[in-house]
Amino acid sequence: MPVQINPSILSADFARLADEARAVEGADWLHVDVMDNHFVPNLTLGVPVVESLARATDTPLDCHLMIEDPDRWAPRYVEAGAGSVTFHVEAAAAPVRLAREIRAKGARASMALKPATPIEPYEDLLPELDMLLIMTVEPGFGGQAFLDIMLPKIRRTRELIAKHGLELWLQVDGGVSDATIERCAEAGADVFVAGSAVYGASDPAEAVRALRTRAQAATAGASWACAH
CA dist., res. 58 & res. 105, Å (int): 19
CA dist., res. 223 & res. 16, Å (int): 41
**190 catalytically annotated:** no
**124 catalytically annotated:** no
CA-closest candidate to residue 11, choices 60, 44, 40: 44
Confirm or deny that 36 is annotated as ligand binding.
Answer: no
Confirm or deny that 140 is annotated as ligand binding.
Answer: yes
Exactly one of 28, 36, 62, 173 is catalytic; name it.
Answer: 173
Exactly one of 28, 33, 130, 190 is catalytic; name it.
Answer: 33
Confirm or deny that 110 is annotated as ligand binding.
Answer: no
As beta bridge partners, residue 169 has 131
Confirm or deny that 175 is annotated as ligand binding.
Answer: yes
Confirm or deny that 164 is annotated as ligand binding.
Answer: no
206-224 burial, b at 16+ Cβ within 10 Å, e below that, comes to ebbebbbebbeebbeebeb
Confirm or deny that 146 is annotated as ligand binding.
Answer: no
Confirm or deny that 13 is annotated as ligand binding.
Answer: no
Confirm or deny that 195 is annotated as ligand binding.
Answer: yes
CA dist., res. 185 & res. 174, Å (int): 14
Amino acid at 1: M
Annotated binding site for substrate: 8, 64, 140-143, 173-175, 195-196
Annotated binding site: 8, 31, 33, 64, 140-143, 173-175, 195-196
Annotated binding site for a divalent metal cation: 31, 33, 64, 173
**Which of the residues are catalytic?**
33, 173
